[in-house]
Structure 1
């Protein structure tokens, strides 16, 4: 869900908020990064100082280390803006993105935004609490959109942690990172090197099946179920 960008949210003064600064001076402030509810919780991300010519995703992704593209991302790359796990911000999207991407709010010649993300510890793409899938845990922040996949200049990231099972969103304790990994301070500088990361033209997310393919599988499943019902009725009719 993308919020109206008519004004920035006041997050820096909240106890749980954390901030990060990117390689081009961009900043993000996130309402909460520690002790998130593994089952799902809504957080707010405010960004400013972004290059208006570069589209970004606001995402929660697996942390692959400094200078590396954060991927896969929870919810995949939500270019339709309906999933709530990510947001596409761009003032000059490709033609197919017009009406889908939310433009930056221009402030002093730079781009700002406010979005809400629905964050859970895992989905069908990845699990932030699984050391095999996310050995460094997960991060929240921004990265270049699918038109600039290899561009690391928009990476502004903060590590996130999750509450231990059964303790609730404010329980603290367990996290998607190693136990000795420090929590982010109120101001954190994200190390991101330009030019590193994936080189494909499409966003590298966990989404490996296109919606049309999913629809086809659903139809196939329904047809198989219908065949099974007809076969069972025939067997019952012919049974002595």
Structure 2
């Protein structure tokens, strides 16, 4: 146990290390598999899901969301590192990757406004690398997470903060923000805000008298 580390923090760190090792073991088995590329990929996806569910089940989203963020961060990067060995004929590969990205994004929206710096930096660097690795094979499933990773926090965007605090930003800033977020992430934010009763529509007036309603 490291100096100043609580027992809970130690248990979490060891669990994440074990998870990383198990994913590495799956990737090694994939590379050395005597099965056909398609069969090996199907088996990898099945085993990957089992390991992820087993480890993620150790924590509850409403009680310990930060360890779960570590789990998803390790899982996504591990999957991206194995992607070059997965068969393009395996339909489970893009489906699993998309599910990972959406589940991670949903978790991020639930996190407290301040995520510990080291954890957020790990998420940022991991998503940048994972997105880069997957782009080499033409995969874009991590675009949503890559957008979040560019920012200082899940809710830290200045234009978003202005809207949520009932301030009216410049319409150009709103357009830039909407283009950056994209429809999927924006809709996820809206659903989250409605769920926690924090949603208020904002009408932004342009100089020519028209208006844009931000939902």
Higher relative contact order (CA 8 A, sep 6+): 1
Who wins on radius of gyration, i.e. which is larger?
A: 1
Give the TM-score normalised by the residue count of structure 1: 0.27
User: When the two structures are superposed, what TM-score results if normalisation uses the length of structure 2?
Assistant: 0.29
